[in-house]
């Protein structure tokens, strides 16, 4: 769903009306569901990527908090989390470019290789939500913030529809105070 579409023109007032009608303590759940619905309006399958990135960074941050003194485990956790997230980003955004480049370089020295393509459609906002999620996890690793214990609040931070597809990339310590009146 695009911000300048008729669908959004219908979607947004409904979100606002329901938001102000429901109890304050469940508003963040409503915004989370709305954000996923917004993202799925473009391609429902890619909401699974958003959920995967969210789940991996959430679980990683909890482990990082648990292992305060075990730096080797913390480094492994951070590394695996970054690898998973950046592999997703690489496959969808850069794989075709890298394979084309390798094919052209090899072609210049007269070496041919079989064409390898994934034919994946680039998910909208993938860079924004992956960098935001990884940035959060790195902040937890550095001890700058405590991990969010509530998965759904954290998922809202990653998927909040007004910034999901166009940014900006936020820090969680800025996001929640800014929207505290609205979502808590």
Give the pLDDT confidence of 163-181 residue by residue, as tens digits: 877 767 777 877 776 665 4
pLDDT at 155: 95
Higher pLDDT, 68 or 31: 31
Token match 């900006």: residue?
Answer: 168
Query: How large a percentage of the chain has pLDDT more than 90?
Result: 45
State whether the Cα torsion 50-54-56-57 is positive or negative: positive
By the 8 A CB rule, do 126 and 91 touch? no
Q: What is the pLDDT of residues 27-45, one digit of tens each?
A: 999 999 999 998 888 889 8
The reported pLDDT for the residue numbered 58 is: 97
CA dist., res. 120 & res. 77, Å (int):
28
Q: Distance between CA atoms of 78 and 25, rounded to whole angstroms?
A: 32
Q: Shortest CA distance to 155 belongs to which of 86, 61, 47, 55?
A: 55
d(CA 81, CA 70): 17
Half-sphere exposure of 99 (CA within 13 A, CB side): 14
Q: Calculate the CA dihedral of residues 97, 100, 104, 105 and round it to 10 degrees.
A: 60
Q: What is the pLDDT of residues 100-138, one digit of tens each?
A: 888 888 888 888 777 776 677 777 888 899 999 999 999
Tell me the three state secondary structure of residue 170.
Answer: coil
pLDDT of residue 1: 62
How sure is the predictor about 19, in pLDDT bands with cuts at 50, 70 and 90?
Answer: very high
Overall average pLDDT of the 47-73 stretch: 89
Query: What is the pTM assigned to this prediction?
Result: 0.84
């Amino acid at each position: 769903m695009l911000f300048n579409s008729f669908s959004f023109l219908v979607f947004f007032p409904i979100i606002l009306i329901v938001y102000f009608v429901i109890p304050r303590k469940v508003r963040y759940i409503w915004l989370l569901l709305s954000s996923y619905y917004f993202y799925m309006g473009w391609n429902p399958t890619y909401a699974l990527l958003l959920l995967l990135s969210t789940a991996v960074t959430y679980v990683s941050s909890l482990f990082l908090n648990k292992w305060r003194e075990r730096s080797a485990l913390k480094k492994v956790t951070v590394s695996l989390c970054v690898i998973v997230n950046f592999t997703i980003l690489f496959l969808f955004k850069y794989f075709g470019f890298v394979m084309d480049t390798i094919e052209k370089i090899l072609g210049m020295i007269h070496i041919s290789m079989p064409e390898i393509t994934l034919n994946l459609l680039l998910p909208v906002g993938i860079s924004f939500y992956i960098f935001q999620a990884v940035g959060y996890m790195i902040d937890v690793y550095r001890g700058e913030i405590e991990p969010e214990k509530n998965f759904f609040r954290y998922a809202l931070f990653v998927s909040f529809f007004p910034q999901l597809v166009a940014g900006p990339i936020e820090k969680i310590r800025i996001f929640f105070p800014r929207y505290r009146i609205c979502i808590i």
